[in-house]
Chains A and B, each alone.
Chain A
Amino acid sequence: MAEFINQWGDAIWQGFIQTMQMTVISLVLSVLVGIPLGVSLILTRKGGQAENPGLYAVLNAIINVIRSIPFIILLFLILPVTKLIAGTTIGVQGVIFPLVVSCAPYVARLMESAMLEVDHGVIEAYQSMGISTTKIVWYVIIREARSPMILGLTIAAIGLIGETAMAGLVGAGGLGDLAYQFGYTRFQPDVMYAVIIVLIVIVQIIQSLGNAFARGLKKN
């Protein structure tokens, strides 16, 4: 055991850091894109506060198209754009952009469905009080939906961890890459098992934190 940790401890630690970097940075950027996108979806949809069937159809289509492409394909498909935006197509820096492109529409969908759960009557009550749509979005819709939104982000975060495994293909490293390179390609199953255990622990922690946070925000 001690020998194993001696030999692989550093590599696993480094993989952990890379995975966390990719996940956290991509998640933050995906939220920054995904929440406004989700809000746009609920506002422009039929019966929304800024009903706009054309815009809704366009946003809806874009999200569906991106979500149809498996991440591993998307990663290569948008290489030129990645190069343009991130300056590189390799390493952690080179994988953040494709991760965000893949994750943001997913976050948008999760946020949309969370926000759709907000009782329409409450929104109407605030409209009847003469409160502007912008304020209703912030203080009514997002406020009331915050608990399912957190659960949605938890799902997105765990999904991202899975996608970072493929980032190894562009040399971004991370735990998934480690398990693949050593565990699978070089027949060292103990490395693979160790990495799997670390991943399980990470996912458990994220899910538990998400659940606890969401419960705390729910208030009922």
Chain B
Amino acid sequence: MIDIQHVSKTFITGKNKVEALKDVSLKVNKGEIFGVIGYSGAGKSTLIRCVNLLEHPTSGKVLVDGTDILKLNRAGLRKLRRKIGMIFQGYNLLETANVYDNVAIPLKLEGVPKKEIKARADKYLRIVGLTDRSKAYPSQLSGGQKQRVAIARALAHEPEVLLSDEATSALDPTTTDSILELLLKVNRELGITIFLITHELNVIQRICDRVAVMEQGRIVEAGTVVDVFTQPKKQLTRQFVRNESNFKIPDEIYKDLLKTGELVSLTFLGESAKDPALATLARKFEVLPSIIAGGIDQLKDQSIGNLLVHLKGETGQIHDAVAYLKAQNIIVEKVTG
């Protein structure tokens, strides 16, 4: 659906040259939710803005639904943009127009017939759950409600793709959840492909199918959310994932535990979570496992279990035990404090 090929973008301000994007390539498939995560300044925003040419790439190619968008003329670009909805961190609503008009005015400017405008505005305000607020002005709405209006406005164009530029970053956790829920519904029920950027892992975790991790204008890691989550390869990705499911164990305890055996972190997903692996371990090997900490990360379609386990026993036995766990499709990592 979106095919970004070797895109670079350099901003020149006076004598300063900033390379916001360096040879970025990625593909967003039809029907999926693709997320790009990175700290601020990583180039995410520039990247997403290249998809509807709010920003022009310095080099590279951007294909949307097979069309090379850099070759479009003005009218062609306007037409293309109508297929791509976009929502923003700052909502970007008309302050002087009520909720209904915020959805209806862009349709009017596009030349949609009057009857159709009313039908669509009503329909999408219902989908985002704001039918009863249609006469309210943005200043009377909460952040979450404003973002819902913005989503309704984007959907009313009946786009094939929705771009989300940090849409939940200004919202509190509960409101973020409800907006993510709404995006998931939009993706599943209306079949709209979503390409989003965020600095919140939670967003990736909750709704994305695939993810790319960006740092200093480059994509450093990409893959399905489950893979990137359970087996992060790059330092930065680990940082993101660990921040989320970090077991904070005091150093003292670490030291004590390491004297009598080894500490391992176990990651379970899917089928591997169903077998009583630790109990089997105790029976089969001369190893006593004890659970130090644990938690579950809920991903879009799957949960990941994390356990921090202390294995008490001799080195040889522990080695065999770890090999056994790995054979059970459990991801095992040694923890060294």
Contacts and interface: CB of A to CB of B under 8 A. Distances in A.
A75 to B, nearest CB: 39
Given A121-B88, A125-B86, A135-B109, A130 B95 contact: no
A130 B93 contact: no
Interface string A96-130: 00000000000000000000000101101111111
Interface stretch (B60-68, B74-82, B261-269): B74-82
A100 B88 CA distance: 42
Interface string A116-154: 000101101111111110010001100110110000000
Nearest to A145: B96
Given A129-B82, A129-B110, A130-B110, A219 B95 contact: yes
Contact of A218 (B54, B90, B96, B105): B96
Interface in B86-141: 86, 88, 90, 92-98, 105-106, 109-110, 137-140
A21 to B, nearest CB: 33
Mostly, the B contact residues are: mixed
B127 to A, nearest CB: 18
A217 interface: yes
A119 B137 contact: no
Interface string B15-55: 00000000000000000000000000000000000001010
A68 interface: no
Contact of B77 (A119, A130, A139, A144): A130
Given A130-B80, A130-B81, A130-B82, A144 B96 contact: yes
B225 interface: no
Contact of B109 (A128, A139, A147): A139
B213 interface: no
B229 to A, nearest CB: 31
Given A121-B90, A139-B109, A219-B137, A130 B96 contact: no
Interface in A11-25: none
A128 B150 CA distance: 12
B47 to A, nearest CB: 15
Given A125-B86, A131-B106, A219-B139, A140 B78 contact: no
A220 interface: yes
A51 to B, nearest CB: 13
B157 interface: yes
| Residue among A143, A144, A219 with max Cβ neighbours from chain B (10 Å) | A219
A114 to B, nearest CB: 13
Contacts of A131: 78, 106, 109-110
Contacts of B179: none
Contacts of B109: 126, 131, 135, 139
Residue among A124, A126, A128, A218 facing the most chain B CB atoms (10 A cut-off): A128
Interface residues of A, number: 23
B308 interface: no
Contact of B95 (A126, A129, A220): A220
Interface centre among A125, A126, A220 (most CB of B within 10 A): A125
A125 B105 contact: no
Interface hub of B78, B93, B106 (most chain A Cβ within 10 A):
B106
Contacts of A135: 109
Given A121-B90, A131-B110, A139 B95 contact: no
Contacts of A144: 94-96
Contacts of B78: 130-132
A220 B138 contact: yes
Interface in B129-178: 137-140, 150, 153-154, 157, 163
Contacts of A128: 52, 54, 81, 84, 86, 163
Contacts of B140: 220
B81 A129 contact: yes
A142 to B, nearest CB: 10
A139 B86 CA distance: 19
Contacts of B52: 128
B96 A127 contact: no
Given A121-B88, A130-B78, A219-B97, 18 more contacts: A119-B90, A121-B90, A122-B94, A124-B88, A124-B92, A125-B150, A126-B106, A127-B54, A127-B81, A128-B52, A129-B81, A135-B109, A139-B105, A139-B109, A143-B94, A220-B95, A220-B137, A220-B138
16 contacts: A121-B88, A122-B93, A125-B86, A125-B88, A125-B92, A128-B163, A129-B82, A130-B78, A130-B80, A131-B78, A139-B109, A143-B94, A144-B94, A147-B96, A220-B139, A220-B140
Interface of B: 52, 54, 77-82, 84-86, 88, 90, 92-98, 105-106, 109-110, 137-140, 150, 153-154, 157, 163
